[in-house]
Amino acid sequence: MLQDQRDGDALRLHQARRAERTDVLRARRADRRCRPEGRRDARRPPGVGVAAAEWLAKQDPQLVGSDNWPVEVAPNPDKDLSLPVHQIFLVVNGIHILENLKLDELVAKRVYEFAFTMQPLKIYGASGSSVAPAAIR
């Protein structure tokens, strides 16, 4: 789980570069490996915390993607907040969110930089769409 700025700073040191406006940032939760039975618990996925979302937003990416359905911690530890990371990314900062990415192969091959493309469906008035993302090396 990416909880706060310290996690983000550690990630940046590992990547050896700073995010730019045209970047797509991706987060892999990998909780399947942490469970002895090898299953995911879709009801309580780890994810990006509020402090980390604020830090990520300051990096000014155009998209943040994750391999889980909410991108953020769910349910939120603060019962008074509903999807606060969505609000920070989408509403406040105009950063797109991409959920349910398949990141295992990129991680296994240690691919950190690539050309990214995706084509959303052209649906008038929609706020989301199925996409077919591709990482091109």
Please check whether residue 122 lies inside any domain of the structure: no
Please check whether residue 99 lies inside any domain of the structure: yes
Beta carbons within 10 angstroms of residue 72's beta carbon:
31
Q: Which residues span the domain enclosing 31?
A: 5-110
- For residue 24, what pLDDT band results from cuts at 50, 70 and 90? low
With H, G, I as helix, E, B as strand and everything else as coil, classify residue 20: coil
Please check whether residue 126 lies inside any domain of the structure: no
Note the pLDDT of residue 26: 60
Please check whether residue 136 lies inside any domain of the structure: no
Does residue 75 have a cis bond before it (omega within 30 degrees)?
A: yes
- Residue 83 CB partners (closer than 8 Å, separation 6+): 70, 72, 76
pLDDT in tens, 77-132: 899 999 999 999 999 999 999 998 888 888 889 888 888 999 989 999 988 899 99
Please check whether residue 78 lies inside any domain of the structure: yes
Please check whether residue 76 lies inside any domain of the structure: yes
CA distance 53 to 31: 19
Joined tokens for residue 129: 């769409």
**Strand 96-98, strand 115-117: pairing:** unpaired
| Model confidence, pTM | 0.75
Please check whether residue 106 lies inside any domain of the structure: yes
Please check whether residue 118 lies inside any domain of the structure: no
> What's the domain count of the chain?
1
